[in-house]
A = this chain, B = another copy of it.
């Protein structure tokens, strides 16, 4: 229908703006943040360094890295108002809905936007990044009936987040894996939540108000939540030895196999490779291999079966392995999408700050397809 009407539904293929924050090279399975491949970032960088790099557009010197690291620590505590908003939510509320409200409340003490104050906007983004993590941990513990754990300032962002979630400081290995997982999810060009953040911020709405809207977009099942569904699938399969038949049956009945395919990638999502490597390392350390084995057999069967007939859409995406990794870190499934936000907030903020350098409100055209000459008929005559 859309093609007949002369436009591209969902703006697929339509260039909405220029960016230098990240690029998804879907044909070759490459993802770069400001030119650096995601594999190199996963190997050599940290959440703190990438926060600076994405927000500022240059890699930090040691003093700059020290400063952003200190700020990420200082800003961790939530304002009492935001705590009150989180604590007003019923335990049954979806954590993404609570997070969206908490982020809107975080805008309560934010100054109106000054587009040209890049330093102030970056500082605000660092505050927001620090506090979003604290909000996610508080929301999770509240849902689980646990008292909040106050943030510590002697831990890295990744360590402190897991500490606030669990009450225990994670091992160095787990903290590093989580740090890498966050970096992998920081940005992905114009995905729907980032595009939402840009559209809202193009009105010169406050940074945090725009991020609140992006959290709303990420809450949608077509965007966030896919790694939850992969785990639900693994749980439904039940055991590794059942996986091969399950996939064969799913393919025969055209049921959806979760965690495969992506609108942009035409080959392996590079993030999936990194996540699989970390997952295998953690499986070896913990000896808990049930979910991993099920997923591995789903994966291999999919590649085998689909490879017989097609070269398209047969590769796992970022969501295929991440849920199993988080589960081994004792994170509950419902917290996976909020954790996506803990990482993506850096990308959202970087896009907004970049856009504000040359801002124009998003105001697309509409193709009107309704009647053009109607009138109000007397109510008694209506059918």
A210, A358, A374: most-surrounded residue (chain B CB, <10 A): A374
Pair B20/A100 contact, Cβ less than 8 Å: no
Most B-side CB within 10 Å, residue of A97, A108, A366, A382 = A366
- B196 contacts A192, CB within 8 Å? no
Complex alpha-carbon distance, A281 and B120, angstroms: 47
Does A297 make an interface contact (CB < 8 A)? no
Given A88-B105, A200-B217, 15 further pairs, Cβ under 8 A: A1-B18, A6-B15, A13-B364, A18-B367, A18-B368, A32-B370, A32-B374, A113-B221, A199-B199, A201-B220, A203-B217, A204-B220, A212-B213, A213-B217, A223-B361
Hey, which chain B residues are within 8 Å of A372, CB to CB?
A: 23, 32, 35
Is residue A242 within 8 Å, beta carbon to beta carbon, of the partner chain?
Answer: no
A-B residue pairs in contact (CB < 8 Å), sample of 5: A11-B363, A62-B379, A84-B84, A97-B108, A195-B364
Asked whether A382 and B59 contact (CB < 8 A) given A13-B365, A203-B217, A366-B190, the answer is: yes
Q: Min CB distance, A95 to chain B, in Å?
A: 11
Are A5 and B32 in contact (CB-based, < 8 A)?
A: no
Chain B residues lying within 8 Å of A203, measured Cβ to Cβ, are 192-193, 217-224
Do B17 and A367 touch (CB < 8 A)?
A: yes
**Chain B nearest CB, measured from A179 CB (Å):** 15
**Stretch from A36-44, A121-129, A168-176, A231-239 that touches the partner:** A36-44
A32 to B94, CA, bound (A): 38
B11/A364 in contact, CB under 8 A:
yes
Whether A252 is near chain B, meaning CB under 8 Å from some CB there, is no
Which chain B residues border A373 with CB–CB below 8 Å?
Answer: 35
